Amino acid sequence: MNSKTKVGIIICDRYRCCAGGKCLRAMRNKEGAFSIYAGTGAELVGFTTCNGCPGGNVEYAGEEMVKNGAEVIHLATGMVVGYPPCPSITTFKSFLEKRYGVKVVVGTHPIPKKYLDMHSQLGTWENPQWEPLVEPIMCDDATRALYD
Ligand code: SF4
């Protein structure tokens, strides 16, 4: 019996050429936002981009992922660490949850060290609205360094 949680990943289109290495490694190692699957593991059932601002593909990708069995959709870490972070991330989360009744998790792989360093200088995440979004992918120094 396959008890793995079926997940879809939507990435920021700024990173559309990304081969998914960090997300897939984190999924395999159950690091970052994938630590919630420590007891079960996760199976990827969809991977795409938002198709560029303002993120029109979120609507269609969500439908296809859920049809393909996605139980959780992850909004990739790139949406959080980009310069600037995606301004629509909470709207995407609310929309997907309400429209498709699917759980949505912000983040995939741990925040890379170089992005934390830069955003710390910028003060990007000092707004308390970002704290709960960043916390699951903050991880520790050693883990962040592995994702640089
Ligand atoms: S900033 Fe947001 S809407 Fe724009 S490309 Fe990235 S994820 Fe899509």
Residue 33 pLDDT > 70: yes
Residues 39-74 pLDDT 10s: 889 999 999 999 999 999 999 999 999 999 999 999
Q: Residue 23's pLDDT is what?
A: 98
Q: How many domains are there within the chain?
A: 1
For 67, the domain range is 5-146
Is the CB of residue 88 below 6 angstroms from any atom belonging to ligand 1?
yes
Indicate which atom in ligand 1 lies nearest the CA of residue 54: 3
Task: Report the residue among 79, 80, 108, 133 best suited for mutation to probe ligand 1: largest number of ligand atoms under 8 A from its CB.
Answer: 79
Q: What's the burial of 28, exposed, middle or buried (CB within 10 Å: 0-12/13-18/19+)?
A: exposed
Per-residue pLDDT, averaged over 14-28, amounts to: 96
| Token code pair at residue 9 | 């990943």
Q: Residue 21's pLDDT is what?
A: 96
Percentage of the chain modeled with pLDDT above 70: 99
Query: Comparing C-alpha atoms, which of 70, 120, 123 is closest to residue 100?
Result: 70
Q: Residue 2's pLDDT is what?
A: 58
Q: Residue 3's pLDDT is what?
A: 86
Indicate which atom in ligand 1 lies nearest the CA of residue 55: 3
Task: Tell me the sheet residues that pair with 47.
Answer: 9
Task: Report the residue among 9, 10, 14 best suited for mutation to probe ligand 1: largest number of ligand atoms under 8 A from its CB.
Answer: 14
Per-residue pLDDT, averaged over 131-139, amounts to: 94
Per-residue pLDDT, averaged over 71-92, amounts to: 97
pTM of the entire structure? 0.96
Percentage of the chain modeled with pLDDT above 90: 95
Residue 76 pLDDT > 60: yes
Residue 25 pLDDT > 60: yes
CATH number of the domain that residue 116 is part of: 3.40.50
What's the 14 CA to ligand 1 centre distance in angstroms?
A: 7
Mean pLDDT of the chain: 96
Residue 105 pLDDT > 70: yes
CA dist 75 and 109 (Å) reads 10
